[in-house]
Amino acid sequence: MHQPSLPLSQDLVLIGGGHTHALVLRKWAMKPLPGARLTLINPGPTAPYSGMLPGFVAGHYSRDQLDIDLVKLAQAAGARLILGAAIGIDPATGTVEIDSHPPVGFDICSVDVGITSDMPALPGFADHAVPAKPLGPFAEKWDAFRRGDGPATVAVIGGGVAGAELAMAMSHALKRRKRPATIHLIDHATALSALPDKSAAKLRTAMKALNIVLHENVQITLLGKNTVSLDDGGTITASFITGAAGARPYPWLADSGLDTHDGFLTVNDRLQTSDPRIFAVGDCAHMAHAPRPKAGVYAVRQAPVLFHNLVSILAGGPLKTYIPQKDYLKLISLGKKAALGDRFGLTFTGDWVWGWKDRIDRKFMDQFDQLPTMPTPPLPFPRAKGVREAMGPKPLCGGCGAKLGRDALSNALASLAPPQRSDITPLPGDDAALLTTGGERQVFTTDHLRSFWDDPAVMARIATHHALGDIWAMGADPQAATLSITLPRLSEQLAERTLTEILASAQTVLQEAGADIVGGHSTLGDELTIGLAITGLCDRNPITLSGAQDGAALILTKPIGTGVIMAALMSRKAQGAQVAQALDGMQHGQKTASHILRDAAQAMTDLTGFGLAGHVQNLCAASGLSATLTLDAVPVLPGAGELSERGEHSSLYTNNRAGFSNIPDSPQTRLLFDPQTSGGLLAAVAADQADRVLDALRSAGYTDSAIIGRLHRGQAGEVSID
């Protein structure tokens, strides 16, 4: 008998992808708690590792080596990843407020958001300086600056260990690029005062050797464009200004109503805040039972205790205590591949110390590249004939990658009798019908997506934009929608939370499009699926697949590649940043593009599961023309080409590829058969209007829009490439 899936009954929410939470996710991947839904909220798809930041700044590590890929980590842990910044937590309602997402409910929550070195009280800082934390934005801006040319001047605010490491790393990086550089390190008190005298003296010597100018016991009065004004009347010129001092907590922590110390969440020896359901770790937490300086070593050591306590409190068990060590090994980068070590009053330097630090850092990061995987269960035996063939060589994709093949679909549709009503006009190939009601013309369409991303709010936005594509492609204006939702097995409370997120997200997209939700249906099943039936009002003849003229240009409004990226996500071959860009693109609507194209398009469709080549073929067949595509002109999502070259493709690819023997096989041409979810509009536009329309699309924000080919006389439905 089939074993039913276990319902999810508790929500565990991790706010922030800091070091502690990253380690908790890895532990969860190895031993998850059945019945608990795990959610990670983080602004981006990666989390930089602070221990390797000086090495990155100096040029010893690449940007990729600095980052923990949270997409792969969350996937290994079976967690949903919400890409957004937490901006509030409400213990009274048990919800987390997010800047780009509906509120998320929790039963148990943990906070690991780190700190910021932004200095709002320093005049001019927000406009002219780059805080060293959060690390991600800082790393991006430094990477761009160091690649410049000519003499460089840098000012680092904050003469602690972090500031000294940054200054030395910057000096080394600019020297390697043969850029004459002057680095200023500024502190309002005595620099390096937290270190023992011997270690501080060695660091001062190292900085002097790198020509770093140290300014101590001076106050900054104003930051201007490329200038730092001091209270002694001096002015420092700097083309890159950063702040490594004044580390402070995010303001929303103090607004939560939880107990805080100088804005940091106060925690007990079990890492709980004043609300026992909410934990806090890392730099954003103040350990009232054993105060310690902000250091990554404590975050790492907190991970096993936090993991145990989260699992235990969800299951109703006892909690462990966390007692931090009194001292820890400090390994401080000296710019080049050398480092200074300090512990228990001992100081040691040299290349070997760098090697030691490098091994520690790489070992920490390696564990996030070597994530546990669930083995694929073997097929049962005996089994019915044809099971293996029906399963295919790849797991079933989500989104439009899960569509039925074209032949099976068209053959099934051919068995239907023609409409019996005179007020219904089918639009074959357009996935819609034209209804006439009281003299008004409506287009009616439906679409349904199998989930491929664990955030139901994101899937709701994508599914809604995807379903609206048919309305926009016909030049209509959306009117009303009903939703059909299948949720995985959840407790009543979790089902309500999930459904609320879905409805809020779908409603936002529909209302922006000018439509309203008027009803729907929901049920529980094996997995999340979201479908919409939508009507649209049409005050003109709808734009269909037929009607394109000889010589027309083909315009595409979005890049392709969602299918291969989502397939690579399933096999953990896609980078988190690539996945995030694809998800973002699928959540961009086509309303404005439709309004620009509707007066110029001779024929139009939206790109979905049959891929670019399949939809071009449909348009050509309906219009009695052939098409020639300019392969290099087709816009492609970042990473899609590389993944295609490595052999990644959707489970629907083989079916889409059939029937196009005249198109040679290459990584680039394979993307023509990649199924698209919430793809762009494909329009045939008169050649003499195409450039004007393209300029209008790009000016409206559809910057990837392109003229990708032309239509011409020939065998109807034939598609070739230049």
| Spatial separation of the C-alpha atoms in residues 158 and 283, rounded to whole Å | 18
The b/e string for 451-477 (b: 16+ C-beta within 10 A; e otherwise) is: bbbbbbbbbbbbbbbbbbbbbbbbbbb
Q: What is the pLDDT of residue 3?
A: 45
> Alpha helices, DSSP H only, in 415-451?
none
Any domain includes 213: yes
Q: What is the pLDDT of residue 383?
A: 79
Angle subtended at Cα 633 by Cα 629 and Cα 638, rounded to the nearest 5 degrees: 125
Q: What is the pLDDT of residue 2?
A: 40
| Spatial separation of the C-alpha atoms in residues 671 and 346, rounded to whole Å | 59
Q: Is 394 helix (H, G, I), strand (E, B) or coil?
A: coil
DSSP structure class, residue 641: H
Of 542, 560, 580, the residue that ends a domain is 542
106 with 131, same domain: the answer is: no
CB-CB contact of 107 with 12 (8 Å)? yes
Does position 376 have pLDDT exceeding 90, yes or no? no
Of 271, 298, 326, the residue that ends a domain is 326
Sign of CA dihedral 585, 589, 592, 598: positive
Boundaries of domain holding 661: 544-722
CA atoms within 13 A on the CB side of 9: 8
Residues 195-224 pLDDT 10s: 899 999 999 999 999 989 999 999 999 999
Q: What is the mean predicted confidence (pLDDT) over 125-132?
A: 90
CB-CB contact of 371 with 29 (8 Å)? yes
β-strands 240-243, 152-157 pairing: parallel
361 with 458, same domain: the answer is: no
**In degrees to the nearest 10, what's the CA dihedral of 25, 162, 85, 456?**
-20
548 with 679, same domain: the answer is: yes
Peptide bond into 134 cis (omega under 30): yes
519 with 589, same domain: the answer is: no
CB-CB contact of 614 with 406 (8 Å)? yes
Q: What is the pLDDT of residue 147?
A: 87
Residues 308-319 pLDDT 10s: 999 999 999 999
Does position 399 have pLDDT exceeding 80, yes or no? no
| Spatial separation of the C-alpha atoms in residues 326 and 308, rounded to whole Å | 22
| Spatial separation of the C-alpha atoms in residues 680 and 593, rounded to whole Å | 9
Q: What are the two backbone dihedrals, phi and then psi, of residue 439, each rounded to the nearest 5 degrees? A: 85, -10
Does position 402 have pLDDT exceeding 70, yes or no? no
Any domain includes 171: yes
End-to-end CA distance of the chain: 55
Q: What is the mean predicted confidence (pLDDT) over 639-653?
A: 94
CATH number of domain containing 82: 3.50.50.60
695 with 600, same domain: the answer is: yes
CATH number of domain containing 516: 3.30.1330.10
| Spatial separation of the C-alpha atoms in residues 337 and 540, rounded to whole Å | 69
Token output for 192: 């390096």
CB-CB contact of 313 with 10 (8 Å)? no
Does position 337 have pLDDT exceeding 60, yes or no? yes
In DSSP notation, 308-346 reads HHHHHHHHT---------S---EEEEESEEEEEEEETTE
Does position 279 have pLDDT exceeding 80, yes or no? yes
Does position 61 have pLDDT exceeding 70, yes or no? yes
Q: What is the pLDDT of residue 1?
A: 34
Identify residue 398 by its one-letter amino acid code. Answer: G
683 with 552, same domain: the answer is: yes
425 with 276, same domain: the answer is: no
Q: What are the two backbone dihedrals, phi and then psi, of residue 572, each rounded to the nearest 5 degrees? A: 60, 35
The alpha carbon of residue 704 and the mean position of all alpha carbons in its chain are separated, in whole angstroms, by 19
Q: What are the two backbone dihedrals, phi and then psi, of residue 294, each rounded to the nearest 5 degrees? A: -75, 115
pLDDT band at 401 (very low <50, low <70, confident <90, very high): low
Q: What is the pLDDT of residue 262?
A: 93
Any domain includes 390: no
Token output for 300: 């790492």
Give the position of tokens 């020896």: 269
pLDDT band at 394 (very low <50, low <70, confident <90, very high): low
Q: Is 284 a catalytic residue?
A: no
In DSSP notation, 134-169 reads SHHHHHHHHHHHHT--S-EEEEEE--SHHHHHHHHH
Does position 386 have pLDDT exceeding 80, yes or no? no
Any domain includes 14: yes
Q: Residue 424's CB: how many other CB atoms inside 10 A?
A: 13
Residues 574-616 pLDDT 10s: 999 999 999 999 999 999 999 999 999 999 999 999 999 999 9
The alpha carbon of residue 303 and the mean position of all alpha carbons in its chain are separated, in whole angstroms, by 24
236 with 357, same domain: the answer is: yes
The b/e string for 110-122 (b: 16+ C-beta within 10 A; e otherwise) is: bbbbbbbbbbeeb
Does position 373 have pLDDT exceeding 80, yes or no? no
Closest CA to 167 of 141, 186, 150: 186
CA atoms within 13 A on the CB side of 377: 3
158 with 279, same domain: the answer is: no
Residues 238-270 pLDDT 10s: 999 998 876 789 999 999 999 999 999 999 999
Domain count, the chain: 4
Any domain includes 404: no
Any domain includes 147: yes
Q: What is the pLDDT of residue 245?
A: 78
Residues 436-475 pLDDT 10s: 888 889 999 999 999 999 999 999 999 999 999 999 999 9
393-397, long-range: CB < 8 A, 24+ apart: 394/567, 394/649, 394/650, 394/651, 395/570, 395/651, 396/450, 396/651, 397/452, 397/563, 397/566, 397/567, 397/570, 397/650, 397/651, 397/652, 397/675
Q: What is the mean predicted confidence (pLDDT) over 274-287?
A: 97
Q: What is the mean predicted confidence (pLDDT) over 302-326?
A: 96
Residue with the bigger pLDDT between 188 and 117: it is 188
CATH number of domain containing 564: 3.90.650.10
Q: Compute the mean pLDDT over every residue in the chain, rounded to the nearest whole number.
A: 92
Any domain includes 409: no
CA 242 vs CA 181, 334, 362, 566: distances in Å: 15, 18, 26, 37
142 with 274, same domain: the answer is: no
Give the position of tokens 């002219």: 128
Any domain includes 480: yes
In 538-611, where do the E strands start and end?
A: 553-556, 601-606
What's the residue count for the chain? 722
Token output for 368: 């996030």
Residues 647-693 pLDDT 10s: 999 988 999 999 899 999 999 999 999 999 999 999 999 999 999 99
Angle subtended at Cα 100 by Cα 94 and Cα 106, rounded to the nearest 5 degrees: 15
> Of the residues 109, 397, 400, 538, which is catalytic?
400
219 with 279, same domain: the answer is: no
Residue with the bigger pLDDT between 200 and 134: it is 200
Q: What is the pLDDT of residue 135?
A: 80
Q: What is the pLDDT of residue 420?
A: 75
pLDDT band at 194 (very low <50, low <70, confident <90, very high): confident
96 with 197, same domain: the answer is: no
| Spatial separation of the C-alpha atoms in residues 686 and 689, rounded to whole Å | 5
Of 518, 542, 566, the residue that ends a domain is 542
Closest CA to 583 of 500, 677, 516, 659: 677
Does position 497 have pLDDT exceeding 70, yes or no? yes
